[in-house]
């Protein structure tokens, strides 16, 4: 088992990078201010919605250290491992969480996605079936099921994504989750539709603009992608994922290539 898995749940005491104010439920014990699980969950959600998956993973872990009963933190850990491309660990961690919360629909949906990403389509389908049959509902269950069907080439995948965004709790970020799924499966045109919906719902969210830029870039529309990156950076100049994508887009644009050639000729 590699190092990250051993550090999850009750790992390093290093402070996560977030500098946001403390949550209102934070408590004082013997003169020392202690941050609550609610605080770390709020910060993890914020980091996830900015595409800062490594930070979000640390924060979900800190939330679990404060309160192991927070299923949303267990689900968040698995989701962040998937976003970071650590699919094997995501599957292992979902199994560990399901030992404590057997038959939880959200955890089963997270495991379905992890199984799918490691290439175990059969296990993904079994977990996805169990997820939608479990008590309760939620956007991520349908997003995960949509990906399970999409990977098998089934047209019903789109129906699942439509159910995802029709859930009462769904918002702009669920469109981004779907867009990222389509991007992973090399379908940027479908991804662009959902990313554009997200921008329409939340035009002040820089990460929504960034994902839309990635869709356009993958479609070869470099100029429009650069415009979206610039808009994201206008909203938040410190958004690292937008900075990195902007550099890539500019570096591959005709103007960027021309400027590099001029620089080489001057040497």
Torsion of CA 20, 90, 74, 112, to 10 degrees: 120
* Rounded-to-integer distance, Cα 129 and Cα 108, Å: 9
Whether the per-residue pLDDT at 264 is higher than 70: the answer is no
* Rounded-to-integer distance, Cα 148 and Cα 82, Å: 14
* Rounded-to-integer distance, Cα 122 and Cα 104, Å: 19
* Rounded-to-integer distance, Cα 194 and Cα 214, Å: 12
Q: What is the pTM of this model?
A: 0.85
* Rounded-to-integer distance, Cα 171 and Cα 167, Å: 9
Torsion of CA 186, 198, 53, 83, to 10 degrees: -30
User: Which 8-state DSSP code applies to residue 148?
Assistant: H
Please give the pLDDT value at position 26: 52
Please give the pLDDT value at position 35: 81
Whether the per-residue pLDDT at 226 is higher than 90: the answer is yes
Please give the pLDDT value at position 12: 43
186: left (phi over 0), alpha (psi -120 to 50) or beta: left
Q: Which residues have a Cβ under 8 Å from the Cβ of 88 and sit 6 or more positions away?
A: 118
Please give the pLDDT value at position 22: 42
């Amino acid at each position: 088992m590699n190092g990250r898995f051993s550090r999850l749940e009750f790992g390093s005491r290093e402070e996560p990078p977030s500098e946001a104010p403390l949550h209102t439920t934070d408590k004082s014990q013997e003169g020392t201010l202690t941050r609550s699980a609610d605080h770390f969950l709020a910060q993890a959600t914020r980091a996830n919605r900015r595409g800062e998956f490594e930070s979000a993973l640390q924060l979900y872990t800190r939330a679990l250290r404060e309160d192991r009963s927070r299923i949303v933190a267990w689900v968040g850990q698995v989701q962040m491992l998937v976003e970071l491309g650590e699919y094997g660990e995501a599957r292992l961690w979902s199994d560990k969480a399901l030992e404590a919360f057997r038959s939880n629909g959200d955890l089963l949906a997270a495991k379905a996605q992890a199984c799918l990403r490691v290439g175990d389509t059969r296990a993904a389908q079994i977990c996805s079936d169990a997820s939608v049959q479990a008590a309760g509902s939620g956007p991520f269950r349908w997003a995960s099921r949509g990906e399970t069907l999409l990977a098998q080439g089934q047209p019903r995948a789109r129906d699942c994504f439509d159910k995802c965004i029709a859930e009462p709790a769904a918002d702009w970020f669920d469109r981004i989750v779907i867009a990222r799924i389509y991007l992973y499966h090399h379908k940027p045109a479908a991804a662009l539709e959902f990313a554009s919906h997200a921008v329409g719902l939340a035009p002040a969210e820089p990460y929504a603009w960034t994902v839309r830029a990635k869709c356009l870039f993958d479609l070869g529309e470099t100029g429009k992608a650069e415009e979206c990156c610039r808009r994201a950076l206008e909203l938040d100049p410190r958004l690292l994922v937008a900075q990195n994508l902007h550099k890539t887009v500019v570096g591959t644009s005709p103007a960027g290539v021309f400027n590099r050639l001029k620089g080489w000729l001057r040497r």
